[in-house]
Structure formats: structure tokens, C-alpha cells
Amino acid sequence: MALDKDCLFCKIINGDIPSAKVYEDEFVYAFKDIEPIAPVHYLFVPKTHICCAKKIDAENSQYAAKIFEAIAKVAADEGIESYRVINNCGEDAGQSVMHLHFHMLAGTKMGWGKQSLG
Ligand code: 5GP
Ligand code: ZN
């Protein structure tokens, strides 16, 4: 596990910055988003510094797979039947923290379509 001492989510993973943990295993850390946009808003991050989805490759894709396993586990444990997973990659997509993360949103009826693209 290679963490970056200057990265916000690496600091959350190693406990330097507190977070409301919802799940953890060898590969994945998940915690509540500090500014939730839905009743359930969790962030799932790999326990190694990967800046963004563009940098997922054959060497590290196991982390992405483990994140989706973790999301399914958390959903099952919490009885969440329907949810949305979002990854923002790059500036135009709205990525503000440069450590790969997947938003899990649930607990409300969500819109879809072009109008949801701001
Ligand atoms: P992005 O915009 O990069 O896709 O998502 C970053 C997310 O991280 C945002 O939803 C934001 O609210 C959340 N966030 C930023 N700083 C912190 C923090 O210190 N703690 C937690 N729990 N969430 C954070
Ligand atoms: Zn990081």
C-alpha cells in the first residue's frame, strides 16, 4: 500500500484526518462524505494512492474490483436495494480530490438524463 503524504484521502486512510468509517478491508476504505448530497453518501477509496480512474491499469485494477465488491457488501449489510455509484475523473467531471474514489448514493429517488449534468 503506497500512500501519498500530501493527499487528503491518504491522510484519511491512515487516520491522520478523522472520518466516519463505514467499511474497511485490506484493499478498501469507505467513509461518509462530509457534504452529503443524498441521505446515503459514502466514498469508497483504494488503500493505495491512485489519482484517478485514468490511472487504473493491469497492475492496480484489483483495487477497483475490490471497491465494487465492498459496495455490494455494504449495500447488502445496510439493506440498500437501489443505489448509484459515481466516479468523477478530471476537472470537467468535477473531481476535486485527486485520489480515486467512488461515490455511493442512495436513500432517495434520483433523476437521470442530460439535465442532471449541470
Ligand atoms: P469529487 O468532487 O472529487 O468527486 O468528490 C470529493 C468528495 O469528497 C466531495 O463529495 C466532498 O464532499 C468530499 N470530501 C472532501 N473533503 C472531505 C473530507 O475531509 N472528509 C470527507 N469525509 N469527505 C470529504
Ligand atoms: Zn491519496
- What's the gap in Å between 100 CA and the centre of ligand 1? 11
**pTM exceeds cut of 0.95:** yes
Active-site residue identified among 41, 49, 99, 101: 101
Give pLDDT tens digits for 62-98.
999 999 999 999 999 999 999 999 999 999 999 999 9
Give pLDDT tens digits for 24-72.
999 999 999 999 999 999 999 999 999 999 999 999 999 999 999 999 9
Instruction: Tell me whether residue 49 is one of the annotated catalytic residues.
Output: no
Spatial separation of the C-alpha atoms in residues 19 and 12, rounded to whole Å:
6
How many helices and strands, by DSSP H and E, does the chain display?
2, 5
